[in-house]
Structure 1
Amino acid sequence: MNTPYAPGAVSRRSFLKVAAAAGGGLMVGFWPGQGMAAAAASAPAELNAFIAISPDDRIVLTMPKVEMGQGTYTSVPMLIAEELEVDMNQIEVRHAPPDAKLYGAPFGDQFTGGSLTIRLLYEPMRQTGAAARMVLVQAAAYAWKVAPDSCRAERGEVVHAASGRRVKYGQLVAAAAKLPAPEKIALKQPKDFKLVGQPAKRLDAKGKTDGSAMFGIDAQVKGMKVAVVAASPVIGGKLKSVNDAKARKLRGVRQIVKLDNAVAVVADNYWYAKQGLAALDIKWDEGQYAKLGTDDVRKLMVAALQKPGHIARNDGDALKALAADSQRVEALYVNPMLAHATMEPMNCTVHVKGDGTAEIWTGSQVPARARDDAAKVLGLAPEKVTLHNHYIGGGFGRRLYTDYVVQAAAVAKQIKSPVKLVWSREEDIQHCLLRGMYAHSVSASLGKDGKPLAFSHKIAGPSNLAAFAPGWLKDGLDIDNVEGSDVFSYDIPNMRSEYTQEDGPVPTAFWRGVGPTRNMTVLESFMDELALKVGQDPLAYRLSLLDKQPRAAQVLKVAAERAGWGTPLPPRSGRGIALMRSWGTYLAQVVDVAVSDDGEVTVKRVVCAVDCGQVVNPDTVAAQIQSGINFGLTAGLFGVITLKDGRVEQSNFHDYPILRLNQAPQIDVVLVPSSEAPGGIGEPGTAGVGAALTNAVFAATGVRVRELPLRAELLKKA
């Protein structure tokens, strides 16, 4: 998700502070929102303490972001280790506690998402490591009575080359903690990097392969019970009544908990709880959406395109130019509703204690929100609630929301023992906060040379930002919903991008790739439509419009060359290309498909050229692109949530399938060298693949798909 804040918003060096840690160690970090004068008067306990170095040479990094598979727990330590001059294996990573004040800068909200981690932390973490290095060198120089510039840091030691003396960091931390933070921080030049830009093994890999890594669902508490839940199957429905006589007689069932819109069964283990839930006779008040269907939502979004919206971009006068052109090209695209389908289903363990405190174990992208929202349900002050955040088995934006934590707290409030609430896969799919449905109206006026003279893109759909962070709206405009469209790279003299908010009845959430995954699928597919309408090659057509965007042009050229653009393919095979620019990243993807006579699509190969600025860990970048592509292909090939009688019709992987190993294509990732500031990488792969897929399918079949997922009946051989 994009934000109105610049990526460097937390990199002001005046925030940096050095302080003494417990046990005579050294802490280095930032006081968010305070200058150096204010920070100097603050107690060390208020320091967010990005790193702490102890006398025994242990280096602990307090990670302000959450690890959910994106490699944060490796790439961020690389930034510290690079500037601190230590080996990666010397750094121990711990989860930051819930504290939006200390770990939420610059937003005041402690969250992980929006492909922001490296963009926000690249300079602050390097400055933290460099400041620690500088005060350690200075402490050694004072002790040796030599000039600091005659000393250097090396593999966790300070070395004085002239005399051959060397001392470990741990022996210096007590003296270094008494020194002020450097006024000027000397960061390395990229040419001097030893770690950044080089492949690094994931620090969390061992724990995740030997089973020692702790995810939220792994939490175990003495005396813990397990709860499963059935929420209203109809959107907005409420609980009317429940007959639990049969369930209470079953082995292991301990308690039935009634909530406003759900029923939970608490038992000795998950299986007993499931059996108890199946034995309940539940009556629901289905409410006003008992007849709601997918077509109703679609009509609502398409109709919203006729309403005035907020303007994100208005170069020239596109509407005037389009109105004057009777030959303008127009199309309607619709993005379907999608579930997140995280591999680790929603879960949360809560222990409400008798002393007026509570403990929570979960995995959340917003740990401070999760704690605070649970505290409200429990009637406790936030400081009375301790939340232990763990690794996340798939976030994708779903765990930016706290509904499952709130529900667990509501259940735990009614029982005396600790309880782990686990959603079944069916509950997860049918009560997911969905990627909403969006309608797009696109139109273009073409000049005699076939190039666009005017281009209009209007989007209608839910505003996740208005609910999640209304303060981030820009003059009422949801910047997430226009992202990608607002910086559409092509040289078009009259360009307009507009968004109309239409929330509708379906609960929605951010979904991996957020605004660009919707917008780029539409815009890059429509660019193919324009190229083919004027009889031009889609690659050449794009390049002719990118004279002012060299980074965009470069990734297109690299991807096309690697993919063999223009080489012949077998019958009913096709090759499609698409460009994506967002999160400070440029990438181009080429997708090769084969379509059977029955209309089944097989993705053979995907080539992705990426310019994400300065790369920290190339292995992580490649892995994120690969996973993003497979996530996007899952949606393009299969992904759709449909409604009937107010209910989600899909329930598990048999009818909401994900891309399986034997269906996954060969993926070639090419990293384009760049000295630009780091861009985001967690979401661009997903955002870029949709249009390349539909363009490839058109090349193979001549069928233009404007509403995913692909449907075999439309692609059958005539």
Structure 2
Amino acid sequence: MLTVAAERSLSALATPTAAAAIPSPPQPANIIDIGEIVVLATRPTAAIGFQIRVNEDGTVDVSMPREEVGQGLSTVAAMLVAEEMDVPLGKVRISLADARPELLFNQLTGASSGVRSIYHPARATAAAARARLLEVAARRWGVSRDELTVADGVIRARDGRTTTYGDVTKEAARADLPELKVKPKTKNRSRYIGKPAKRVDGRKIVTGANTYTLDVDVPGAKPCIVRRPPTISGTVRSVRNVGAVKRMPGVVAVTTIPSGVAVVADTFDYALNAVNALDVDWGPGSIDNLSDENVRAKLRAMAPKLDVPEVGVKSIVGEFDFAFATHGAVEMNAAVADVRDGRAEVWAALQAPVVAQEEIARTLGIPMNKVVVHVMPSGGSFGRRLFHEPAVEAALVSKAVGRPVRLLWHRTDDIRHGRVHPAKHHRIQMTYAAGNVVTYQHHVTSVSTDIGHGFGDVLTAKVADIPIAGNASIAQVAFHTMIHCPYNFGVVTETLSEWTLPMHTGSWRSVWSVTTRGVEEVMVDEVAAALGKDPVEFRRRFLKTARQRAVLDKVAEVGQWGKPMPKGCAQGVAVHDESKSCTACLGEADARAPKKPRGTKAVTPVAPALRGN
């Protein structure tokens, strides 16, 4: 509701653009953002990505080449297919495609590209299926396809004859038809797209009926837990009591893999007891001599110096530190693997299944076509499932013990050894004069983010399409195609410098935006206060586009910006623009108990690039 209202309010805006602000030139992300790069990379195989099967009972099965991590992409895909095929939404069933190497870059889920990357391919495939079914019905009745209509999967001729998709599906599958002209629906004919719809998997999720990785029933698969080193990337020198542990109740096998010592047992409880009983001689880790304080000092020292403001120009400087942060998805890392007789079959939640398939094959020393990877839904991700350590570990253990295994990381494993959002330092300077912001400098120094999960390959493949590529690193290209300042702040400079450490990092919730744009909004408040301006009015004056101002106006209206607040309570506001969508947020906080502050309200209108649900 807020999204629609925010969009509709554009035409009603009466306030002129921020003419008095010093215009800032476009940044790379304004020209091409990382989501658009992903879409470009998927185009060569877009026509073969979605696979649709129409069954005789009228249901439609769709194999989606993306991961469902709780973001609702399965629902959007079902809506797109139902829209173009004119079938009830409840008759569309979405499954996640196994790893398909022929898709190249077209089976990556991330970079906020989900809806954008499937929107047109899903619709085109569904429209082609509809056209084929109609053509078969038309030939059966001796009429033109244009004379037929469809509603809820029922095909009707002008003379009143009817049939169903289920009645003609077998004939359509084997018919020798010419290439049919296909044209997806226009927006004004939409029944589902852009309209509210319940999640297609919602009932299964809330009732516990959804099938996640460890719900897969593979005959003979035994629970497995890995004892991991006390330090990051530590190694196993020896296991002093392996014989005693093997004799513990319920223990099936104990084996060493590169990441630790794996115990396979009859239950996870038996496995955990045995893991805790292991006496391991550990080798050193890769960053044993570092601490959070060391890392923070290094990142601060790396930050470039700020420019000296000109005479008569005032400045505000801000420095912000962010610690390493774990992903903390609800579902723990898990995988099921069956590796026997030179073949491997693996089940796991994977955002980059083809990359996982390649690594499993390489690690096991078998051909890639001997590895089958089944993509499972994920109970949350935030970028964590871009990496596939559990799948590789499960495959190694299964091969070593000669039977299928169900491997689980417990929460401590994930916090200590999982992928983390890198520590960062932000150094910012905003200069202002005569009521205007003259310059905005923002230097980000960070422990490097590992993007060796497929997206780095995408950026490398499409580097010629990226305006700032040059000598920039892949990480810098990713940074500049995600980050841009939504305000006219004169000369805008944003940089990224990385420090490579031998530790496990990864993408985490917008990668750089979550901190970079967050601290920018803090600095906007600081400058507004220095100039004696209301935070909403200050933002409104300097925002670049009407869409940005529309979401700001809507959040101020719905959130009742400026209303009287009790002492110790306050409101805050922010605006964000990324991936061709923009949003605003008005939050309220209660700090009357200083040691237990809490957020009490948040209002967030959104103006999306594409509306699915």
TM-score class, shorter-chain normalisation, is 0.7 to 0.9
Measured after TM superposition, the shift of residue 201 of structure 1 is 2.1
Partner residue of 2:439 out of 416, 436, 454: 454
Moved more, 428-437 or 198-207: 198-207
Partner residue of 2:387 out of 390, 401, 409: 401
Alignment match, 2:378:
392
Are the aligned partners of 2:35 and 2:116 in contact in 1 as well (CA < 8 Å)? no
The one of the two structures with greater contact order (alpha-carbon pairs below 8 A, sep at least 6) is 2
Are the aligned partners of 1:480 and 1:514 in contact in 2 as well (CA < 8 Å)? no
Partner residue of 1:351 out of 338, 341, 349: 338
Measured after TM superposition, the shift of residue 463 of structure 1 is 3.8
Partner residue of 1:557 out of 553, 558, 580: 553
Alignment match, 1:511:
508
CA pair 11-221 structure 1, distance change in 2 beyond 3 A: closer
CA pair 62-10 structure 1, distance change in 2 beyond 3 A: farther
The answer to whether residue 22 in structure 2 is matched with residue 9 in structure 1 is no
Report matched runs for 1:226-375 at 5 Å: 226-244=223-241, 245-287=243-285, 289-306=287-304, 322=309, 327-353=314-340, 355-375=341-361
Measured after TM superposition, the shift of residue 265 of structure 1 is 1.4
Distance 1:463 1:180 in 2: 52
Are the aligned partners of 2:432 and 2:438 in contact in 1 as well (CA < 8 Å)? yes
Q: Which amino acid aligns with 2:143?
A: V
Measured after TM superposition, the shift of residue 326 of structure 1 is 6.1
Distance 1:99 1:11 in 2: 13
CA pair 170-216 structure 1, distance change in 2 beyond 3 A: same
For 2:350, what is the secondary structure of its paired residue?
Answer: coil
Aligned length: 566
Alignment match, 2:13:
none
Measured after TM superposition, the shift of residue 572 of structure 1 is 1.1
Distance 1:58 1:333 in 2: 54
Distance 2:605 2:50 in 1: 37
Measured after TM superposition, the shift of residue 285 of structure 1 is 1.7
Alignment match, 1:526:
523
Measured after TM superposition, the shift of residue 155 of structure 1 is 1.4
Report matched runs for 1:201-220 at 5 Å: 201-220=198-217
Partner residue of 2:152 out of 144, 152, 155: 155
For 1:540, what is the secondary structure of its paired residue?
Answer: helix
Measured after TM superposition, the shift of residue 66 of structure 1 is 1.4
Are the aligned partners of 2:235 and 2:283 in contact in 1 as well (CA < 8 Å)? yes
The answer to whether residue 456 in structure 2 is matched with residue 464 in structure 1 is no
The answer to whether residue 600 in structure 2 is matched with residue 600 in structure 1 is no
Measured after TM superposition, the shift of residue 320 of structure 1 is 6.9
Measured after TM superposition, the shift of residue 8 of structure 1 is 5.5
Moved more, 329-338 or 525-534: 329-338
Q: Which amino acid aligns with 1:444?
A: M
Moved more, 56-65 or 276-285: 56-65
Report matched runs for 1:419-434 at 5 Å: 419-434=405-420
Distance 1:235 1:7 in 2: 32
The answer to whether residue 104 in structure 2 is matched with residue 91 in structure 1 is no
Identity of aligned residues (%): 28
Are the aligned partners of 2:50 and 2:121 in contact in 1 as well (CA < 8 Å)? no
Report matched runs for 1:539-618 at 5 Å: 539-546=536-543, 548-617=544-613
Report matched runs for 1:41-56 at 5 Å: 47-56=48-57
Structure 1 unmatched runs, 5+: 13-30, 35-46, 308-318, 618-718
Distance 1:345 1:134 in 2: 43
Distance 1:340 1:510 in 2: 9
Measured after TM superposition, the shift of residue 261 of structure 1 is 4.0
For 1:286, what is the secondary structure of its paired residue?
Answer: coil
CA pair 59-180 structure 1, distance change in 2 beyond 3 A: farther
CA pair 10-297 structure 1, distance change in 2 beyond 3 A: closer
Cα displacement string for residues 151-175 of structure 1 (whole angstroms, at most 9, x for unaligned residues): 21221122112x1112212333424
Are the aligned partners of 1:112 and 1:365 in contact in 2 as well (CA < 8 Å)? yes
Are the aligned partners of 1:136 and 1:158 in contact in 2 as well (CA < 8 Å)? no
Alignment match, 1:116:
113
Distance 1:181 1:157 in 2: 23
Distance 1:201 1:597 in 2: 39
Are the aligned partners of 2:337 and 2:346 in contact in 1 as well (CA < 8 Å)? yes
Cα displacement string for residues 97-139 of structure 1 (whole angstroms, at most 9, x for unaligned residues): 101323x5xxx25221222111111122112222222233333
Are the aligned partners of 2:214 and 2:334 in contact in 1 as well (CA < 8 Å)? yes
Are the aligned partners of 1:349 and 1:420 in contact in 2 as well (CA < 8 Å)? yes
Distance 1:175 1:228 in 2: 49
Are the aligned partners of 2:35 and 2:113 in contact in 1 as well (CA < 8 Å)? no
CA pair 424-519 structure 1, distance change in 2 beyond 3 A: same
Structure 2 unmatched runs, 5+: 1-28, 461-468
Q: Which amino acid aligns with 1:364?
A: L
Are the aligned partners of 2:314 and 2:433 in contact in 1 as well (CA < 8 Å)? no
Cα displacement string for residues 671-692 of structure 1 (whole angstroms, at most 9, x for unaligned residues): xxxxxxxxxxxxxxxxxxxxxx
CA pair 131-137 structure 1, distance change in 2 beyond 3 A: same
Distance 2:232 2:155 in 1: 63
The answer to whether residue 380 in structure 2 is matched with residue 379 in structure 1 is no
Tell me the C-alpha RMSD between the 2 structures. Answer: 2.4
Are the aligned partners of 2:313 and 2:432 in contact in 1 as well (CA < 8 Å)? no
TM-score scaled by length of structure 2:
0.87
Q: Which amino acid aligns with 1:349?
A: V
Cα displacement string for residues 577-617 of structure 1 (whole angstroms, at most 9, x for unaligned residues): 00011011100001100113433211110011111134221
For 2:314, what is the secondary structure of its paired residue?
Answer: coil
For 2:40, what is the secondary structure of its paired residue?
Answer: coil
For 1:292, what is the secondary structure of its paired residue?
Answer: coil
Distance 2:65 2:561 in 1: 43
